[in-house]
Structure 1
């Protein structure tokens, strides 16, 4: 774990809000010169604290208005099955997140698709790639909060 001071936290908060802002604007927001900000950002990147800078897109504007959580149960827990499952889900761009779970569920998948027919296509493609014992889905009716910003 890297030691982060309050100035780093202010920089990270600002970057989580808008990673595309200019160094001049960022410096004004956190009380540093643009060069001091740049050096701190480079150090945070080198330390692996900042892993990427990306643009957030509106899924509705791109025809991906349906978010689905797929609840996966499997009877297979061998390393080779997990490798196949991991490769299959990594290779499907509709799948945004895959999580190995505790409790009754084995895996939780978060995906974005256009509609129910598109979800069915995703489901069929997944079960063709890897055997699953049970798949159920929950569809998001309303998104109340969705953020990638970590609490700093």
Structure 2
């Protein structure tokens, strides 16, 4: 069972996974050793899936975001596994979700420029049969992040 300090630790780690244990302990009003034990407990329990560095997309040369909505007539396990493998091999596809509703999947792509979408589109359709692909270009990011709410964890 998580308490408020555990939630504060998780929230702080989401903001900056490189935060020193000493700084984190000070933020949550714990001793260094108590904070370290709690972090280890949270990691061992699976609350922390991994620690990563979030790179600046502009500096990395991929400032453009395109969302591709995909329809397929195929829903077999074999087709889905092939689709998973194909999109896993295309680094510009950074997220993929299976959907309810009119479209079957949505893909989030990060690209150097809009015109590069055609390169990725061709890679995708050469390797897996799709019924329809419709793309939308993000004009502005209003909210972005990797953090999840910590108040629902038990």
2:57 aligned with 1:35: no
Return the offset for 1:120.
Answer: 0.9
- 1:57-83 CA-to-partner distances (Å, cap 9, x unmatched) read 111111101101110000000110000
Shift of 1:117: 2.6
- 1:60 correspondence with 2:58: yes
Deviation of the 1:116 alpha carbon: 2.2
1:121 matched to which residue of 2? 119
Structure 2 counterpart of 1:97? 95
1:50 aligned onto 2:43: no
Alignment correspondent of 2:7: 9
Q: What SS does structure 1 have at the residue aligned with 2:121?
A: helix
In 2, the alpha carbon distance for the partners of 1:4 and 1:130 equals 44
Name the CA distance, whole Å, in 1 between partners of 2:28 and 2:99: 38
Query: d(CA) in 1 for partners of 2:103 and 2:36?
Result: 44
Shift of 1:43: 1.3
Secondary structure at the aligned position of 2:97 is classed as: strand
Q: TM-score, normalised by structure 1?
A: 0.95
The alpha carbon displacement at 1:92 in A equals 1.2
What are structure 2's unaligned runs of at least 5 residues? none
For residues 5-62 of structure 1, give each alpha carbon's deviation from its aligned partner in whole angstroms, at most 9, with x where no partner exists.
1111000011111110110000000111122122111111111110111111111111
| Count of residues paired in the alignment | 150
Moved over 4 A (4+): none
Using the size of structure 2 for normalisation, the TM-score is 0.94
